[in-house]
DNA sequence: ATGAAAGCGCTAACAG
DNA sequence: CTGTTAGCGCTTTCAT
């Protein structure tokens, strides 16, 4: 206990506790301590334990950049914000980042965030980050069908995980929400309420979710015994403006639908507006379901039914996955979990004019 | 030029260019190169130049964590996301982060993002980040009147900059938007249109902006020759719900206002709703101006006039300031710039019922 | 004005 | 199993 006092005073001193301090306190060498801490197999169980205990007691924490100089790894996850992406503008981001940072912190990692405004700049950003070893791996939001980031990182043999499906499985690890199920459920929900003519506005076709969500919609229609009307289906709308345009063209069809399902929340707001301009009242003349996790607050105005997605949980999951990858631990190659749930805010009831 | 070829092949080799490579290429020692690059005064102008040129040519970039081991600085800026904050939910964040990362990158810095869900966790997060030297300094969004972060960082003598005013100037460096001017302008604008009874809904009183914005409002009223009616003024509303409540209570006053100025955008949406429930039409019975940078897209529905703030530019500015601080270069202690501009979307026209 | 040498905190050969 | 030794890339005394 005399030693204990010395130990504590050393760590309370203000100066960081180094591996040498721990070694000294145990009359061992740095290298032994290092190996014990990193779980090398050539250290006896007993010393392994002694070392770990002492390290704990002295609140020793290896300095990540001191390790990095040898190992090349900084214990930091990279995330590149794509400003062109429509997500950038949405509540999505804060939650997702919080999730990432939470997941990272839980394992002693940090999150390094960079940004890029176009694709050129994007890969340049990755390269800089890699060259300077600012990140051990990357989280890639919004998986694309033909993803330039994936190509780059694969070639450079850098660990990464995707938020969104990846069809070419090679060396890929992804996590995704089952958006296709959400789309199907929306259709079934609407059909159950008596809707027969249901429109669909899909999101950006460059993203891998678009194909899936369309299939989900089509599945739902098939299951409900309804026929697909190409006239009522649109692709590639991600902003409110695009949603308005798509919605308008669908509503102006010869035989317009009584409900519209949107693969992206922002577009639903556009539909809402298009309907408004045509004198249609949501929940009365037209029902709208939006997917993608519009949150209460900001958008509570329109009585929009929506699938709410837990982006924070997604972030936590992805951070965890990436860390496993970095450490070379086995990861589940494919991952699908439904973190979406439906919130009916009353716009999907059977429309009055069809009673 | 024979040497040049060797040099280039070395750097093209794939392995990073180290300081030794540069030294060797010039037949100098590492230490000389290091001092030349860091602008030490004991290196001759000529070699200084030679070294810098060669470093440039070889695309040499010092490894930040290798330097960090000696200097303690990682060339990284810290940013702690506060989830409880109402900003977390808004487009604000993406833009601001992009600005920070842009400003950081421009000077060879990176951005380290962490998160905290409550105040306890908040200072813990700062401490961890500091202990592990994950950040050389911090950007603190949403300056508070009595800011726990400031206390902590001041005591620890760590560089930081605030987004928002700080009244205790000691060791503080901040950057802010002139929200007070925006509030004053809103009042003058409304008064110019003939409004005489103008309500005010202020934001969170824990933030330093609240005092300023109220003063701005009061200034405007005074300049317009209007008297303040405490009955039409509310404090401490930041969410849409709180805005709705405040708006409702103002609209239910014995002699309600014809216009309401909101210090926070979200609350304006609440007012919009409160007005709606009372059968009031915005732009007809009531005018609303919201400050804080609601962006087009999401909120275009309500014809709300608003001050749009350039959060990205703010981020760039703050990153620059912080870097100066970290480097110990002189910084302007106080900084006020107006990056806000007014966007009239038609809700501030003179109301019909007062024609 | 430059070089030689030491060392930052840590990992990783190689011995024993 | 553990200690010895070297070295990662860089900075920083201390000589010269």
> Could you tell me if B248 and B315 lie in one domain?
no
> Could you tell me if B143 and B189 lie in one domain?
no
Token digits for B88?
Answer: 């977390």
Spatial neighbors of B47 by CB under 8 A, at least 6 apart, are B28, B32, B36
B260-280 mean pLDDT: 88
Q: What is the pLDDT of residue B303?
A: 53
Protein-to-nucleotide distance from the CA of B23 to the C1' of D14, whole angstroms: 20
Taking CA atoms, what residue in B is nearest to A129? B110
B103-131 mean pLDDT: 92
B314-339 mean pLDDT: 79
B74-82 mean pLDDT: 95
Q: What is the pLDDT of residue A168?
A: 80
Q: What is the pLDDT of residue A173?
A: 87
For B152-181, how does the pLDDT look when each residue is reduced to its tens digit (9 = 90+)?
A: 999 999 999 999 988 887 778 888 888 888
Range of the domain at A143: 74-177+311-339
The closest alpha carbon to B141, from B355, B335, B319, belongs to B319
Please determine, for residue B242, whether its predicted confidence score (pLDDT) is greater than 70: yes
Out of A65, A101, A241, whose CB is closest to B133? A65
Contact assessment for residue A51 and residue A38, using Cβ atoms and an 8 Å cutoff:
no
Protein-to-nucleotide distance from the CA of A27 to the C1' of C15, whole angstroms: 20
Taking CA atoms, what residue in A is nearest to B105? A114
Structure confidence at residue B4 as a pLDDT band (50, 70, 90)? very low
Protein-to-nucleotide distance from the CA of A160 to the C1' of D1, whole angstroms: 37
B59-87 mean pLDDT: 90
> Could you tell me if A234 and A285 lie in one domain?
yes
Is residue B347 included in any domain, yes or no? no
Q: What is the pLDDT of residue B276?
A: 85
CB contact under 8 A, B94 and A91: no
Q: How far is the alpha carbon of A272 from chain B, nearest alpha carbon, in Å?
A: 9
Q: What is the pLDDT of residue B143?
A: 92
Tell me how long chain A is: 355
A299 touches B at CB < 8 Å: yes
Chain pair A-B, CB pairs under 8 angstroms? 149
Structure confidence at residue B136 as a pLDDT band (50, 70, 90)? very high
Q: What is the DSSP pairing of strand A160-163 with strand A137-140? A: parallel
Please determine, for residue B301, whether its predicted confidence score (pLDDT) is greater than 50: no
Query: Chain B partners of A295 at a C-beta cutoff of 8 Å?
Result: 89
Is residue A345 included in any domain, yes or no? no
Q: Residue B189 and residue B344: Cα distance in Å, rounded?
A: 10
Residue B36: Cβ within 10 Å count: 24
Tell me how long chain B is: 355
Please determine, for residue B279, whether its predicted confidence score (pLDDT) is greater than 60: yes
Is residue B67 included in any domain, yes or no? no
Query: Chain A partners of B310 at a C-beta cutoff of 8 Å?
Result: none
Q: Residue A236 and residue A242: Cα distance in Å, rounded?
A: 8
Please determine, for residue B38, whether its predicted confidence score (pLDDT) is greater than 60: yes
For residue B31, the domain's CATH number is 1.10.260.40
Q: Strand, coil or helix: what is B242?
A: helix
How does DSSP assign B162-195, residue by residue?
Answer: EES--SS-TT--EEEE-HHHHHHHHHHHHHHTT-
Protein-to-nucleotide distance from the CA of B31 to the C1' of D16, whole angstroms: 15
Query: Chain A partners of B97 at a C-beta cutoff of 8 Å?
Result: 81, 93, 113, 115
Q: How far is the alpha carbon of B307 from chain A, nearest alpha carbon, in Å?
A: 17
Strand D nucleotides below 7 A of a protein CB?
1-13
Q: What is the pLDDT of residue B95?
A: 85
Chain A contacts in chain B segment 155-194 (CB below 8 A):
none
Q: How far is CA A71 from CA A38, A66, A321, in A?
A: 12, 9, 20
> Could you tell me if A45 and A82 lie in one domain?
no
Q: B262 - beta bridge partners? A: B201, B290
A137-165 mean pLDDT: 93
Mean pLDDT of chain B: 84
For A273-308, how does the pLDDT look when each residue is reduced to its tens digit (9 = 90+)?
A: 899 899 888 778 888 887 765 444 334 344 556 677
Protein-to-nucleotide distance from the CA of A99 to the C1' of D12, whole angstroms: 42
Is residue A352 included in any domain, yes or no? no
> Could you tell me if B191 and B168 lie in one domain?
no
Protein-to-nucleotide distance from the CA of B68 to the C1' of C1, whole angstroms: 27
Q: What is the pTM of this model?
A: 0.88
> Could you tell me if B173 and B183 lie in one domain?
no
B77 touches A at CB < 8 Å: no
B131 touches A at CB < 8 Å: yes
The closest alpha carbon to A188, from A223, A212, A233, belongs to A223
> Could you tell me if B161 and B47 lie in one domain?
no
Q: What is the DSSP pairing of strand B305-309 with strand B287-291? A: parallel
Is residue A88 included in any domain, yes or no? yes
How does DSSP assign A264-294, residue by residue?
Answer: SHHHHHHHHHHHHHTTPPBTTTBEEEEES--
B338-345 mean pLDDT: 54
Contact assessment for residue A284 and residue A353, using Cβ atoms and an 8 Å cutoff:
yes
Taking CA atoms, what residue in A is nearest to B77? A112
Q: What is the DSSP pairing of strand B174-177 with strand A174-177? A: unpaired
Which is more confidently placed, B87 or B264? B264
Please determine, for residue B277, whether its predicted confidence score (pLDDT) is greater than 80: yes
B239 touches A at CB < 8 Å: yes
Protein-to-nucleotide distance from the CA of A42 to the C1' of C16, whole angstroms: 14
Mean pLDDT of chain A: 84
- Across A110-119, A279-288, B259-268, least confident range: A279-288
Is residue A351 included in any domain, yes or no? no
Which residue of B86, B88, B110 to mutate against A (max A Cβ within 10 Å)?
B110
> Could you tell me if B173 and B317 lie in one domain?
yes
Please determine, for residue B336, whether its predicted confidence score (pLDDT) is greater than 70: no
A12 touches B at CB < 8 Å: no
Share of chain A above pLDDT 70, in %: 83
Please determine, for residue A324, whether its predicted confidence score (pLDDT) is greater than 80: yes
Query: Chain A partners of B90 at a C-beta cutoff of 8 Å?
Result: 91, 94, 298
Q: Strand, coil or helix: what is B107?
A: coil
Which residue of B15, B103, B141, B298 to mutate against A (max A Cβ within 10 Å)?
B298
CB contact under 8 A, B61 and A131: yes
Taking CA atoms, what residue in A is nearest to B117? A98
Q: What is the pLDDT of residue A13?
A: 45
> Could you tell me if A26 and A147 lie in one domain?
no
Chain A contacts in chain B segment 42-71 (CB below 8 A):
61, 63-66, 68-69
For A17-48, how does the pLDDT look when each residue is reduced to its tens digit (9 = 90+)?
A: 999 999 999 999 999 999 999 989 889 999 99
Q: What is the pLDDT of residue B292?
A: 66
> Could you tell me if A220 and A320 lie in one domain?
no
Q: How far is the alpha carbon of B91 from chain A, nearest alpha carbon, in Å?
A: 5
Q: What is the pLDDT of residue B211?
A: 96
Q: What is the pLDDT of residue A285?
A: 84
> Could you tell me if B183 and B264 lie in one domain?
yes
Contact assessment for residue B308 and residue B293, using Cβ atoms and an 8 Å cutoff:
yes
A58-78 mean pLDDT: 95
Q: What is the pLDDT of residue B189?
A: 87
B33-60 mean pLDDT: 93
Is residue B123 included in any domain, yes or no? yes
Is residue B7 included in any domain, yes or no? yes
Q: What is the pLDDT of residue A343?
A: 58
CB contact under 8 A, B63 and A132: yes
Q: Residue B160 and residue B149: Cα distance in Å, rounded?
A: 9
Q: What is the count of structural domains for chain B?
A: 3
B222 touches A at CB < 8 Å: no
For residue A254, the domain's CATH number is 3.40.50.2300
Please determine, for residue A183, whether its predicted confidence score (pLDDT) is greater than 60: yes
> Could you tell me if A183 and A197 lie in one domain?
yes
CB contact under 8 A, B66 and A69: yes
């Amino acid at each position: 206990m005399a030693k204990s006092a010395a130990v504590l005073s050393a760590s309370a001193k203000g100066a960081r506790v180094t591996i040498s301090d721990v070694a000294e306190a145990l009359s061992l060498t740095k290298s032994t301590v290092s190996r014990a801490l990193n779980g090398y197999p050539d250290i006896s169980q007993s010393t392994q334990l002694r070392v770990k205990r002492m390290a704990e007691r002295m609140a020793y924490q290896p300095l990540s950049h001191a390790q990095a100089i040898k190992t090349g790894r900084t214990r930091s996850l990279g995330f590149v914000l794509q400003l062109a992406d429509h997500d950038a503008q949405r509540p999505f981001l804060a939650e997702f980042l919080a999730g990432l940072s939470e997941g990272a912190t839980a394992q002693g990692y940090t999150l390094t965030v960079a940004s890029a405004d176009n694709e050129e700049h994007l890969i340049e950003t990755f390269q800089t980050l890699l060259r300077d070893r600012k990140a051990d791996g990357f989280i890639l939001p919004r998986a694309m069908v033909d993803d330039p980031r994936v190509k780059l990182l694969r070639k450079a043999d850098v660990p990464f995980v995707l938020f969104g499906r990846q069809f070419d499985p090679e060396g890929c690890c992804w996590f995704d929400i089952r958006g296709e199920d959400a789309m199907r459920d929306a259709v079934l929900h609407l059909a159950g309420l008596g809707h027969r003519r249901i429109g669909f506005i899909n999101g950006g076709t460059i993203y891998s979710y678009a194909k899936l969500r369309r299939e989900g919609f089509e599945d739902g229609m098939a299951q409900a015994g309804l026929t697909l009307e190409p006239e009522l289906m649109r692709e590639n709308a991600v902003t409110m403006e695009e949603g308005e345009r798509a919605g308008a063209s669908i509503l102006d069809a010869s035989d317009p639908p009584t409900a519209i399902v949107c693969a992206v929340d922002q577009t639903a707001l556009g539909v809402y507006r298009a309907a408004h301009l045509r004198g249609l009242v949501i929940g009365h003349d037209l029902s709208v379901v939006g997917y993608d996790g519009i949150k209460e607050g900001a958008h509570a105005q329109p009585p929009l039914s929506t699938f709410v997605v837990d982006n924070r949980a997604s972030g936590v999951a992805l951070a965890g996955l990436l860390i496993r990858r970095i450490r070379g631990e086995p990861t589940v190659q494919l991952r699908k979990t439904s973190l979406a749930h439906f919130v009916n805010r009353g716009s999907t009831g059977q429309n009055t004019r069809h009673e």
